[in-house]
Chains A and B, each alone.
Chain A
Amino acid sequence: MADNTLEIRNLNTSFFTQHGEVRAVNDVSLDVRRAQITGIVGESGCGKSMTARSVMGLVRYPGRIVSGRIRLDGKEITGLSKKEMCSLRGNELSMIFQEPMSSLNPVMKVGKQVEETLRIHQHVTKEEAARRTEEIFREVGISDARSRMACYPHQLSGGLRQRVMIAMAMICKPKLLIADEPTTALDVTVEAQILSLMKRLCEGGTSILLISHNLGVIAQVCDYVYVMYAGRIVEQADTCTLFDHPVHPYTRALLGAASSLRSGAARLETIPGGVPNLLHLPSGCSFSPRCEKCARQCQNEVPQMLPVSGEGHLARCYFANVPEE
């Protein structure tokens, strides 16, 4: 058994629009380790959701995976046919989305929706499917499981709907669960409950790829974190290292912006300028136009991921190993 449940190598996903090629995912390599929560953090439009969709085989026209390899549990899944991907999705790979209302069928009882997943993939009897659905509802913390199974989505609160989504994603015991902003639409007290449920699932052996723009969510549950900016990974490290010793100027700025809210400072830290247009990326480092350390080298050539002191800590910056003055 491989150490990594998911391995992505040099993935490029682009959208071919009438204005040109939009490089949504740009040379991304990442690993999701077994029974760990791996996070991707970045601002909206940085390519974190497209990375997840590429893994799921859910990139829509005019987008497509241009190159790269994706391996699930040591097995290559790029280049699989539609039919093969269908049998993989919901079975070995599953995903939960941000908006639990629009991801559920409004005219079908939630219990049936979860059973359906099981019956498609594992050919069990109706009774067996109902029994296992009730079991998984309990597992994800839905009280009064049997009566909830007979509810329609609109009868449930946002937190319960998200639990149903998680139950549906988990019922076939997938190798990898991708959670794309699973708590963004939820209230703070419910958000904390869902995150602790995800931690429990992970302790039970599920590997999770968690995508979020919220550094608080990432800090609370992830073991290892990738930071994305304009389609590229710019820094990766285990969670504590990343929050304690960020080296990429973008990571520093992002963390600075998040922590200045709590520091009591009168003026909050921001990042000058705006996110670059993915149609016209800067020729060198994509963060260079906003970076105070920017040198000529940064404008000419895209830096590689360079190792930083500390195991498993890499950063896409020429100055990653230059000590701070």
Chain B
Amino acid sequence: MREVLLEARNLTKEFPAGRKKKVHAVTNVTIQILRGETLGLVGESGCGKSTLGRLLIGLLKPDSGQVLAGGEDVTRMSDRQFGKYRRQLQLIFQDPYSSLDPRMNVREIIAEPLRTWNVCRTKEELTDKVLELMEAVGVPGEYLYRYPHQFSGGQRQRIGIARALAADPELIVCDEPVSALDVPVQNQILNLLSELQESRGLTYLFISHDLSVVRHISDRVCVMFLGMICEVGEKEEVYQSPMHPYTRFLLNAILLPDPHHRHEEEHLLTGEIPSAVNVPSGCRFHTRCPYAAKRCLSEVPQLKDAGGRLVACHYPLKP
């Protein structure tokens, strides 16, 4: 059994949305991240995957539930205690255009976390460390004093990765890191992330709506729908024989770059995601689920072990 790096227990986060209304962003989520793995987190927009990522690294405080790192509850730590953990948890953002300060050059951007953690004693040491990080992510050292607008999207994302690496973290939450990039560039960044994981022993929580990307990079996959986890399991098991109906529809909706395998309409999901303010009772997927029965309308399905993976469905599909 591999070591658990970070564990969330019954995490719930709600955001106020006007009078007496709440957005149920994350509801009762329990999940483990194992050391050295890549856990893929997939779901459609608004399903709470980014909120969960932020809760796990302490950027948001949960309303209830715990985040355990090394047996300690991160959410109840004082800011000072938390600071120690903070360094081990870093984030890479989706939009390489807005996540870099346009008024800082590359050296300043990458040096900022190094300064925060007092990694270097002298200016020369700092510059050397920045250059080392730039080399690690494939940005030429001569661009040290350039500004973000002088780079392409792919290179900006590399700079963002270098900044995350600067704190020498254990876990990096990658929040849609390749969604804004063209396919060839996307592949370069994915290759880079794999290389870095191997050389530095990193653990990734990889958040994406792109199922093909998640399939490539992940070891385990977690599927979310409207703030709740539907299914968690080993990547190949989930992709080859999904047990939650939502997972199956999501996989059917993948657009294959192959004109000989076109969609058939009867395999597509109808309707849209229900509002996260007025969530459906019982199983939140029941309004779109063709297999929904009476029990699904009233009783919330719990995540249950189903032969090596966890599924939250009263009537899971046969693998």
* A residues adjacent to B (C-beta < 8 A): 43-44, 157-160, 187-193, 195-196, 213-220, 222, 239-240, 243, 253-255, 257-262, 264, 266-271, 274-275
Please tell me if the beta carbons of B184 and A159 are within 8 angstroms of each other in the complex.
Answer: no
Which residues of the other chain, A, contact B44 by a CB distance below 8 angstroms?
A: 187-190
Q: Which residues on B sit within 8 Å (CB–CB) of A213?
A: 182-183
Which residues of the other chain, B, contact A196 by a CB distance below 8 angstroms? 263, 265, 268
Among listed B57-65, B83-91, B185-193, interface-contacting one: B185-193
A239 contacts which chain B residues (CB < 8 A)?
Answer: 259
Which of chain A's residues have a CB closer than 8 A to the CB of B182? 43-44, 213
Contact of B255 with A271 in the complex, beta carbons under 8 Å: no
Q: Are A220 and B255 in contact (CB under 8 A)?
A: yes
Q: How large is the interface on B (under 10, 10 to 19, 20 to 34, 35 or more residues)?
A: 35 or more
Residues of A within 8 A of B263 (CB): 192, 195-196, 220
Partner-contacting stretch, out of B9-17, B159-167, B212-220, B299-307: B212-220
Contact of B187 among A188, A191, A195, A268 (CB under 8 A): A268
Chain B residues 66-105 with CB under 8 Å of chain A are none
Check if A243 sits within 8 Å of B258, measured CB to CB: yes
- Complex partner residue of B216 from A187, A191, A268, CB under 8 angstroms: A268
Contact of A254 among B154, B183, B273 (CB under 8 A): B183
B residues within 8 A CB of A268?
A: 187-188, 190-191, 216
With known contacts A215-B183, A261-B213, A268-B191, A188–B258 Cβ distance under 8 A: no
Structural contact, B272 and A214, CB atoms closer than 8 A: no
Does B260 touch A at the CB level, under 8 Å? yes
Q: In whole angstroms, how far apart are the Cα atoms of A28 and B188 in the complex?
A: 30
26 A–B contact pairs at CB < 8 A? A43-B182, A43-B184, A157-B272, A187-B45, A188-B44, A188-B211, A189-B268, A192-B253, A193-B269, A193-B270, A196-B268, A213-B182, A215-B257, A216-B255, A219-B259, A219-B262, A220-B262, A240-B259, A243-B258, A243-B260, A257-B187, A259-B257, A260-B187, A268-B190, A270-B191, A271-B184
Residue of B with least CB distance to A183:
B255
* Contacting pair B272 A216 (CB below 8 A): no
The 6 lowest CB-CB distance pairs between A and B, nearest first, are A216-B255, A268-B187, A187-B44, A215-B257, A43-B182, A271-B184
Residue of B211, B215, B269 with most partner-chain A CB within 10 A: B269
Which residues of chain B have a CB within 8 Å of any CB of chain A? 44-45, 152-154, 182-185, 187-188, 190-191, 194, 209, 211-213, 215-216, 249-250, 252-260, 262-263, 265, 268-270, 272-273
In the bound assembly, the distance between CA atoms of A104 and B19 in angstroms comes to 27
From A192, A214, A243, A267, give the contact of B191 (CB < 8 A): A267
Q: Which of B152, B213, B255 contacts A191 (CB 8 A)?
A: B255
Determine the residue in chain B with the shortest Cβ distance to A192: B253
Q: Which of A187, A192, A267, A270 contacts B255 (CB 8 A)?
A: A192
* B257 adjacent to A258 (CB under 8 Å): yes
Q: Which residue of chain A has its CB nearest to the CB of B181?
A: A44
Contacts of A243 in B (CB 8 A): 257-260
Per a CB cutoff under 8 Å, which of B209, B252, B256, B265 touches A187? Answer: B209
Known: A192-B253, A243-B257. A266 touches B194 (CB 8 A): yes
Give the residue among B182, B211, B250, B254 with the most A Cβ atoms within 10 A.
Answer: B182
